[in-house]
């Protein structure tokens, strides 16, 4: 009898988990979606080593923080163009957008990044902080910081 009740409870618990829904995809406002799209495009431009739109996107005083150091716009463009860091693919697992005011947005991306660094392919898990500013009507990336995560993102 005890085994029957235990088995029944396991079947009920298992069926409940089988029908559990994944967390809903976040719904973004129009303003948030603009920042999310800009960030997504940035990852593709970086993967393609397409520095022309990146040069326009990066603010003249932008700063980039990597695991191996930090530098400004000119060096980041050169690193991407030369393939010093080749951002092959960024799998985005989570996106959060917060506006500080109407001209400053902070975006957090939890990503798995496939990159080539110094001729070696590496796969890393990061929380990437992007700060966007709108000094004269169009959004510019002011800062991009990679924070290494010790574990991969939870499976959805």
- Under the banding of pLDDT at 50, 70 and 90, the label for residue 25 is low
- Under the banding of pLDDT at 50, 70 and 90, the label for residue 156 is low
Mean pLDDT of 73-100: 96
Locate 132 and state its tokens: 């966007």
Task: Give the torsion sign (CA, 150, 97, 40, 24).
Answer: positive
Q: Name the 3-class secondary structure at 19.
A: coil
Lateral strand order in the sheet of 120-133: 69-72, 58-66, 140-148, 120-133, 104-117, 85-101
- Under the banding of pLDDT at 50, 70 and 90, the label for residue 150 is confident
Q: Whole-model pTM? A: 0.80
The per-residue pLDDT for range 103-129, each reduced to its tens digit, is 999 999 999 999 999 899 999 999 999
Q: Name the 3-class secondary structure at 88.
A: strand
Residues 6+ apart with CB under 8 A from 23: 156
Q: Which CATH class is domain 28-148?
A: alpha beta
Asked whether the beta carbons of 39 and 47 are under 8 A apart, the reply is no
Domain boundaries, given as residue ranges, for the chain: 28-148
pLDDT score of 7 = 41
């Amino acid at each position: 009898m005890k085994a029957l009740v235990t088995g029944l409870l396991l079947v009920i618990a298992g069926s409940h988990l089988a029908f559990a829904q994944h967390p809903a995809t976040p719904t973004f406002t129009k303003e948030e979606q603009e920042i999310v799209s800009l960030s997504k495009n940035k990852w593709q431009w970086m993967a393609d080593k397409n520095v022309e739109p990146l040069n326009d996107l990066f603010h003249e005083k932008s700063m980039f923080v990597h695991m191996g150091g930090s530098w400004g716009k000119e060096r980041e463009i050169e690193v991407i163009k030369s393939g010093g860091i080749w951002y092959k693919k960024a799998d985005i697992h989570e996106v959060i957008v917060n506006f500080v005011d109407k001209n400053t947005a902070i975006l957090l991306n939890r990503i798995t990044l496939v990159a080539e660094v110094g001729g070696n392919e590496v796969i890393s898990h990061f929380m990437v902080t992007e700060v966007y500013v709108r000094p004269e009507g169009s959004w510019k990336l002011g800062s991009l910081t990679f924070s290494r995560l010790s574990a991969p993102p939870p499976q959805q």
